[in-house]
Chain A
Amino acid sequence: MLTRRKILVFGSLMGLSSWLQAKSRASIDRKVNTKVKRTIAAVQEHLFPSNSKIPSAKMMHANTFLLETISHKSYDKDIRRFVLEGAKELEVREKGLFTTLSKEDKERALREYEETNYGSSWLSRIMTLTMEGIFSDPIYGSNKNEKGWQAIKSFGGQPRPNTRYLDV
């Protein structure tokens, strides 16, 4: 069983960037820095591009959805950290240039990242979080005008939620 702790241990065994580990726990939390946001957005847009049969991550505001989702109290805090750390690790591998790479180079970078257990788990997590946006109820801010549902001719059931996360 691959526990969430093991995922995190994988990360530290790989020697996640030292500047990251030097930071205090407090600074990791709540506020996500702009660089990390952009890296995650670039990955989401690469995985869910605009010329696909399903709406793109960009059009679906999947990045905002992802950041709001991982910061909600219903979301596992360890996985939240993993999502953020994984983006930093990708930037370390790509010398901080991932967002500026060409489509081909992004593909190369992500496929190489996928070769590692850590990178593969992280990409899978980004994919899940993006799909959660595109295919969840529009109340969560992604799946704009039900475009995600329309693309697959499958719609959420009635009644629809009138509040996010049952208002807890």
Chain B
Amino acid sequence: MLFGRNKKNPIKIADKGIVEWKYTTCGYCSTGCSIEVGINDEGQAVSSRGVGSADVNRGKLCIKGIFEHELFKTEGRGKKPLVRNSTIEAYQETEWDTALDGMAEKIKTIQEKHGRDAFAIVSTGQILTEEFYTLGKLTRGAIGTNNYDGNTTLCMASAVSGYKRSFGSDGPPGCYEDFEKTDCLIAFGSNLPEQHPVIYWRLKEAMEKRKFPLIVVDPRVTMLAQFADMHLAINPGTDVVLLNSLAHVIIDENLADMDYIEKNTNGMEEFTAIVEDYDPVSAAKICGIDEDTIRHVARLYAKAGQAMSIWTMGINQSTHGSDGVVGINNLNLITGNIGKEGGTSLSITGQSNAMGTREWSSCSGLPGYRVLENADHRQEIADYWGIDPEFLPKQRGLAQTDIFPAIETGQIKGLWLVATNPMTSMPNTARIRKTLEKLDFLVIQDAYEDVETVQYAHMYLPAAIWAEKDGCFTNTERRVNRVTNVARPYADSKPDLWIFSHLARRFENGKKMQFSDNAEDMFEEMKALSKGEERNLDISGMSYDKIEENRGLQWPCREGDEKGAQRLYSDGKFPHSDGKAKIIPLPFIDNNERPDAEYPFWLNSGRVVEHFHTRTRTGKIGNQNKFSPTPYMEMNPDSAAELGIEHQSYVRCVSRRGDAVVMVQLTQRIPRDMVFIPFHFHDCVNRLTLGLLDPYSRQPAFKQNAVRLELVDQKEAAQRNVEAREY
């Protein structure tokens, strides 16, 4: 058996020489995995592993986390601040002081000439919570523009808006442990194995211990849909119809939890009147799910002891995004599944710190879920910051997706982008390019100087990345976790916190206010502002040490609490002024850009597991990028055969906005009237998207657009594809 090889050579196995493991939290999606980064004796980060004792990931990491230590040495990092007077000139390197002086000067000039709101700020879901808080303080308190938002408008705005409408405040009420307690789970437009693989693992573990029905609503046969007990292959953009119809059956068959509804909610009557119109027979014709299935799912969900819903971009990125979220909340409210173990309405968030920006960045209001519209809130914050409350606007300004049109038509003259790349991430790239050209002053603050938007900028500020900094992230289940200083900032890049606090000193109000380069100082401010019995977002019981010890703490974690609370609203008390949740009627108006004779295909988009957002990071790590080094489009082989389109050939997709050349992958996982393109790639899917805005959340409908396909010269297409991106 051993072939007579008795003499053995020593075995060599790669040894990275790790001398120390440093604790931090993953900086990609919002699952919130605890990571240990291995450091060798030269101080280089050489390895990553999941923290075994962390409740979130229990030792696991996805492909992105496994290679996260390689981020520190990725190509394209910014070394020095860059400036130029106009976009036709070449950039010049400069020192931080000169750059920040110039930046403050430009902002002031624009504001003096065109009004305070003529300078806009768009940030991200990627930086640390302390940085968000500080940027908010700088923006609201010192710069004083009301056109300030985060790129979370592209991903989580609908969830925020839906939570606010239903419950009176943002904040996902459930947690991952709910998988272990639930008796039925519906996933709406959420493909966990691809987008949140570690959350998928938690779900899988729960299902292996105790099987419960899994229902997946998704137009594609994703791996989750394939593994589901029932796959509801819904027509794009019709989730609200399905949700109304589920409610119709539950109410019609007296399966609603009337006791819970009576005690804890308002609006049931109006709701019942509207869902009357959504009987399964009528609904089936619109949403494409047959009436028997609708009834079956409704009964299953209502009769389950505890039932929960999760959702991601399939719901949020729609013109009915906010309504979709409210619809899911409605479903859970009428079945009494909020704040229960295993009964919840849990949005699965996108970015590592989308929650941090929602909580503390003041993007849509003031820190700690306070709103501008409330005079008490304005007073409270102005007092704490030491400024005149009249300096604060009395109403929220423009959302990200409204800021760009305001630049287009000249109301906004200057823009500061922090860790976001609208050239790739915003719908209708052609329009974004045209818009950015109109700016008198564009500042890009990003870890990468090769981020595409830099070509339209006048100033580039090199930021430190992820664990080159110190602070906190909040994850999908409201868990605050620590990001620690694993490596020192690359070259002359600076932590975003440093940039914010140093810019603040260059404004009049900023000189009066407290700004610190030390994250913990800012965390203490946040703690102070979070205190309050009626506040759910209470982090006053946390400290950096305690957070790390517990591998993350969920809020509310009040002063003196050992741990945070796992769920919100368990007591049936909601943040609406009357303490009750709202069951909101949702009439459906079909305003999707639907396929027609000229543009016969639905265009859908989404993530792949190996990439994150616009690939500025993952596109540079070979062991991730190799799994999709170039964009591709899933297409059904039957419709491809009709058009003479071959597997692994290029086609030209044309929409009413523009065109994109992309390689075709034929697969039956997608319906005949749809194509699917991952959104990560520059100059690709967003050249095509319309991005109609949700009326409540202002989030664009990335997933419901119409395109047609044309054959192209293969050589030219291949060349165009190669030239379209640098990495």
Q: Do A and B bind each other?
A: no
Question: Chain B residues in contact with chain A, CB under 8 A?
Answer: none
